[in-house]
Amino acid sequence: MHLQQKAKKVLAAVVAAGMVTAATAGYGLLAGPQEEREITLVVDGRTACIKTTAATLGEALQEAGVSVGPNDKVFPDLDVPVTNGLKARVMRIEIREVTVQEQIARQTVRKATTSLRPGHSRLSDPGEDGLQKVTYRLTYADGKRVMKERLSSEVIRPSRPRVVLYGKGSPLPSRGFFSRKVLVMTATAYDPGPRSCGPHANGRTSTGMRAGKGVVAVDPRVIPLGTKLYIEGYGFAVAGDTGSAIKGAKIDLGHESYAAALRFGRRPVVVHIIED
């Protein structure tokens, strides 16, 4: 009886050993060397074909000694299974912050003045560009800048506007004017030169004013000389001249050049006689 029990224990041990051996053999079949696969890597400006037994792209990169930074981008993703012929790319992403000085462009401001004739202008103040300190975040992909973000700015020197004065004729209400009378007239155009005013033209009107933009010829029986006017499509003006052809509801509008006068041509206009 004692011998039978001992024989059973020996038999059980043998069977157990056989099972362990079989299990170990099975594990070896599953975990043995994998088949090599060839993949193409593009990284740091170089293209390389490598053979690997790695299961995922991330493992293949690690096996090839390719490090991936926290901002780098990998295409396809790192957890993609490695297959034969896989093409992958590692894009190096670099982020920098830089601070530079930049100009603040001066603006141009136009101001009306009665010291200049209508149509004339003068530079009163050339102004000055300002200066500012600006911080940018720059993003580079494989050495090429792909993004520029403005983070902050600080004014070092403010800009000063460029001031241009322009003539508006006689003083007028800043918010408009009051029409004492409105006329619909036929307008022609002239310039101070001989082609408009004849060979003896000296640039002066019959009242002694300088001929040009803002000075118009009228029939004094309709509009007295010296009258302040606003002509729609032309602007503010003064009745400062007469002409043999300017009779009744006709008005001749001064321009600075013969070409401008030709462009204006002949047309009906609405004339406001301004109330002082």
% of the chain surpassing 70 pLDDT: 80
**195 closest CA partner among 123, 132, 261:** 261
Tens digit of each residue's pLDDT (9 = 90 or more) over 177-232: 566 778 889 999 998 887 777 677 777 888 888 888 999 999 999 999 999 998 98
Would the pTM count as exceeding 0.75?
no
Query: What range does the domain containing 117 cover?
Result: 95-167
Q: Are both 55 and 109 inside the same structural domain?
A: no
Q: Are both 184 and 270 inside the same structural domain?
A: yes
Average pLDDT over residues 88-113: 92
Q: Are both 157 and 192 inside the same structural domain?
A: no
pLDDT the model gives residue 179 = 64
For residue 135, give the amino acid letter: T
What is the CATH number for 54? 3.10.20.90
pLDDT the model gives residue 197 = 74
Q: Are both 161 and 201 inside the same structural domain?
A: no
Q: Are both 251 and 212 inside the same structural domain?
A: yes
Q: Are both 75 and 105 inside the same structural domain?
A: no
Cβ(104)–Cβ(133) below 8 Å:
no
Tokens 């299974």 belong to residue:
81
Tens digit of each residue's pLDDT (9 = 90 or more) over 115-158: 776 656 788 899 999 999 999 999 999 999 999 999 999 999 99
What CA–CA distances, in Å, run from 180 to 57, 113, 172, 217, 230?
88, 23, 13, 19, 11
Average pLDDT over residues 222-249: 91
Burial of 265 (0-12, 13-18, 19+ CB in 10 A): exposed
Q: Are both 104 and 163 inside the same structural domain?
A: yes
pLDDT the model gives residue 177 = 59
Q: Are both 143 and 228 inside the same structural domain?
A: no
Asked whether residue 29 is assigned to any structural domain, the reply reads: no
pLDDT the model gives residue 83 = 95
Q: Are both 183 and 241 inside the same structural domain?
A: yes
Cβ(117)–Cβ(168) below 8 Å:
no
What is the CATH number for 146? 2.20.230.10
Q: Are both 130 and 215 inside the same structural domain?
A: no
Q: Are both 73 and 58 inside the same structural domain?
A: yes
Asked whether residue 15 is assigned to any structural domain, the reply reads: no
Last residue of a domain, one of 139, 167, 195: 167
Q: How many other C-beta atoms are found inside a 10 Å radius of the C-beta of residue 145?
A: 11
pLDDT the model gives residue 169 = 47
Average pLDDT over residues 33-50: 90
Q: Are both 116 and 153 inside the same structural domain?
A: yes
Last residue of a domain, one of 167, 187, 205: 167
How many domains are contained in the chain? 3
* Residue 16 pLDDT grade (very low, low, confident, very high; cuts 50, 70, 90): very low
Burial of 84 (0-12, 13-18, 19+ CB in 10 A): exposed
Mean pLDDT, the chain, as a whole number? 82
